Amino acid sequence: MINFNRQYDLFKSNDENITESNPLNDIFINKKTIKEWQSKITNHQSNIFKYGYKDINQTSLFEPWSEELSESFNPIDLTPMPLNFWKWPKAMHEGPAIYFVMDTMVDCGSNFILYIGETISAEKRWKGEHDCKNYLSSYSDYLQKANIATRLNIRFWLDVPIKTKERRKLEQQLIRIWLPPFNKETRGIWATPFTSQIN
């Protein structure tokens, strides 16, 4: 698997005085740029949402995906939950899971996956520190500054292997198919600006 140590920054700044402590104070990404970035992702993912995994064009960065993944599985069928679900008094999902952090382009209704992860404990994984939480915070801030509505949610797939090695293998297959921009394996493909500003 290719590991991008430093991703390409689509929005390089010539201002050397940008403070590292809070770059959002000085950096603005305009609405057009953000919408184009979202559209590239939805263009790739929309056909998978519609038609499943058969006949998708696999990116050459990865090995071909395994036939073990059911073509009928679709993350859109999973129940959406708010990102702060872990604050609820009763856990909605427990045990091993693969989870999908998703957003919706409100103006056209297109759903897209921002991140795919796996966990042995669905009720605990999102409570602590998590790089994706930082990316989502940065992403939300940029969208708010550009006056773009967001409908972030998280969905858990519980019908997954109990053994961690098998679950991670399935997670990697899903990442290879969907190419979610906040996963480290794929950030370089989309030149994701929301992650490079906080690395």
Q: Which single residue is written with the structure tokens 């056909």?
A: 47
Q: Over the stretch 83-110, which tens digit does the pLDDT of each residue have?
A: 877 665 665 667 899 999 999 988 778 8
Token pair for 38 = 């979202």
Q: Where are the alpha helices (DSSP H) in 52-163?
A: 131-145
Residue 109: per-residue pLDDT: 81
Q: How far apart are CA 149 and CA 60, in angstroms?
A: 33
Query: Which pLDDT score is estimated for 64?
Result: 44
Residue 26 has pLDDT above 90, yes or no: no
Give the model confidence (pLDDT) of 55-87 as tens digits: 555 544 444 444 456 667 899 999 998 887 766
pLDDT of residue 53: 73
| More confident of the two residues 152 and 22 | 152
Question: Where on the phi/psi map is residue 4: left (φ > 0), alpha (ψ -120 to 50), or beta?
Answer: beta
Residue 114 confidence (pLDDT) above 80: yes
State the pLDDT at residue 126.
65
Q: What is the pLDDT of residue 95?
A: 85
Residue with more model confidence, 132 or 24: 132
Per-residue pLDDT tens digits for 120-167: 987 676 666 677 788 888 899 999 999 999 899 999 999 899 999 999
pLDDT of residue 100: 96
In sequence order, which residues have a C-beta less than 8 Å from that of residue 96 and are 6 or more positions away?
118, 119, 120, 121, 122, 158, 160, 161, 162, 167
Kindly indicate the confidence band of residue 4, based on its pLDDT and cuts at 50, 70 and 90: very low
Query: What predicted TM-score, i.e. pTM, was given to this entire model?
Result: 0.77
Structure confidence at residue 195 as a pLDDT band (50, 70, 90): low
Choice between 197 and 19, residue whose per-residue pLDDT is larger? 197
Closest CA to 1 of 44, 51, 40, 59: 59
